[in-house]
Amino acid sequence: MVLVSIQVMRRTVGSDGRTAREPGQGLTAAAISVVARATGHLAVLPVTCLLVVLVDTKVMSSKSPSTAPASAPVNLFGEGKLVAPYQVFARRYRSRSFAELIGQDSIANTLRNAITLGRTAHAYLFCGTRGVGKTSMARIFARALNAIDSLSERDAIAQSILRGEDLDVIEIDGASNRGVDDARDLIAGAGLAPARSPYKIYIIDEVHMLTQPAFNALLKTMEEPPAHVKFILCTTEPHKVPATIQSRCQRFDFRSIPTSLIAEHLARVLADEKLTADEVVLLQVARLANGSMRDGLSLLDRLVAASSGHLSQTLAREVLGLPDEELLESLMRAIACGDPAGGLTAAASLLEAGMSPEHALDTIAARLRDCLLVRTCGAETAMVDLPRESRQQLAQHAEHFDPPALVHLITLCDGAVRNVRGSSVPRALFDAVVARLCMSEHFVTAATLLSSRAESPNEKKK
């Protein structure tokens, strides 16, 4: 890293103005411009430090250029301290071993056994949604293959692989290196021996973004690569990867991480950070993550940045736009008791709190889904991600419905979301749906209607 002292002066008409002006620049233009001269020296600092530029300002007035005093060196960053940059949770708490990978135990065990038995393939295809550990698994697998005990620089190699900076583990972004020329460069580099490790490993992220000519160029190399080359392809859309490429790889499908495991990991992160949080907040963040650990850590990072040490439900509502649990509870009570006035009042409060009609309907559908699971599977079912108190309240609401009615109400919310998005009067449709949910017992069910139609011919014959 370089430490540079810079002297800044204002150009003036005179010797400085004449000698410092650019070709074709008049004296007037030179007089109002600024010239900077490096007057310091170079210094080598640790790579973990930030660049600090010390500026020696010597501003010379056109009226009294010889009397303007030079100011002391100024640190642009305030106090002159070298501070390491902040690292987000998604990077700081990234998995570093097979045991730390969450929710992918079967894949981790398979790869670990393959290394132990010496049966590693030359190409792998990791498939799954975002944030489930594909790239982390690829790095950990590459470290297990290349950072062997016999190497004198084993620890340095292991750390560089996990950082994505190793010479023999080349990470390629398929979205920005997708052409046939990039594929040819990869093939040419694959023929070279690794610098210091047993294998040269290519990790191609978002491999489905490669063009068809690029895939065709890789076919022969991926079928019979050099003995020192291995490929790890990662993708969120495996259906876009040609079958000819998939047939040359061992495919592993990464599952979405369960909400309970995400919540447990978030709790461990907060414990390491010496922070606290309400249980319901962790469950809400885990549900919003939708099976992605990276999304969950990113949401948690936002909450921590806005908190003062404790993550409360009020903070989660303000930062993440979550619904007020009391209002949602009032709405569910109105639906269960058949109270349209109470339901419309609670729904209006949700919209006034900042929720859109689509988001409100999605939230109602999710809570009705919880009612359905509690009604059919019991209050202690693991499929419902709610605290114990909320489970008890939900069980009381679920007693007012039968499972077919809940299925109908969920379907009604889903259809209403699509209609609301394209309607010129979304609020009217939203209020109509809420009233319909509250008056569901007054409407004839589909089963009753079909049964009446089936019995009507017999009655006519009589």
pLDDT digits 0-9 by tens, 304-349: 999 888 999 889 988 988 888 888 889 999 998 889 999 999 999 9
Per residue in 100-118, pLDDT (tens digit) is 999 999 999 999 999 999 9
- Helices (DSSP H) in 173-273: which residue ranges? 180-190, 212-223, 243-246, 259-272
| Residue 458 pLDDT level (bands cut at 50, 70, 90) | low
Of the chain, the percentage scoring pLDDT greater than 70 comes to 77
**What is the percent of the chain with per-residue pLDDT over 90, rounded to a whole number?**
56
In the predicted model, what is the mean pLDDT of the chain?
82
Nearest to 160 by CA among 172, 178, 142: 142
* The pLDDT of residue 273 is above 90: yes
* pLDDT recorded at residue 21: 47
Q: Is the torsion defined by CA of 94, 97, 98, 99 positive or negative?
A: negative
- Of residues 457 and 191, more confidence is placed in 191
| Domain 259-320 falls under CATH 1.10.3720.10 | no
Q: What is the CATH number of domain 90-253?
A: 3.40.50.300
Asked whether residue 38 carries a pLDDT value surpassing 80, the answer given is no
Give residue limits of the domains in the chain: 4-75, 90-253, 259-320, 325-446
Over residues 370-386, the mean pLDDT reads 86
Residues 6+ apart with CB under 8 A from 432: none
Tokens of 446: 């589909």
Measured between alpha carbons, how far is residue 125 from residues 130, 135, 182, 204, 206 in Å? 15, 11, 19, 10, 11
Whether the CA torsion 355, 358, 361, 365 is positive or negative: it is negative
Instruction: Please say if the pLDDT value at position 71 is more than 50.
Output: no
Range with the largest mean pLDDT of 33-47, 51-65, 355-369: 355-369
Angle between helix axes 259-272 and 279-289 (nearest 10 degrees) is 120
Strand partners, 277: 311
416 alpha carbon, distance to own chain's centre? 29
Neighbouring residues of 63: CB distance < 8 A, sequence distance ≥ 6: none
Q: Tell me the pLDDT tens digit for each residue of 414-428.
A: 999 989 988 899 999
Domain 325-446 CATH (choose: 1.10.10.2160, 1.20.272.10, 1.20.1250.20, 3.30.420.40): 1.20.272.10
How far apart CA 344 and CA 362 sit, in angstroms, is: 16
Please give the residue that has the higher pLDDT: either 20 or 318. Answer: 318
